[in-house]
Amino acid sequence: MTVKGEDEGGLSTITTVNIRVMDINDRNPEWVPFDFSVKEGCAGQIIGRIEAKDADELENGEI
């Protein structure tokens, strides 16, 4: 996924975050839409949680 950081002055940067799904899927995971805002100077803090759902059975449905 692509992550964009932008400050109130309009400066921004973009980076890529790779998430590897280690499963032979019968059903693909579904990502719950999300959007986070972070104030400057919050390094090292948790800013949000990303959720996904997977309809596969047993351990193949764990995310």
How confident is the model over 25-41, as pLDDT tens digits? Answer: 677 777 888 888 877 88
Per-residue pLDDT, averaged over 42-59, amounts to: 79
Per-residue pLDDT, averaged over 55-61, amounts to: 72
pLDDT of 14? 92
20-29: long-range pairs with CB below 8 Å, 24+: 23/56, 23/60, 24/60, 25/54, 25/56, 25/60, 26/56, 26/60, 27/54, 27/55, 27/56, 28/54, 29/53, 29/54, 29/63
Per-residue pLDDT, averaged over 45-50, amounts to: 83
Decide if pLDDT at 23 tops 70.
no
Indicate yes or no: pTM above 0.85. no
Helix (H) or strand (E) holding 30: strand 30-31
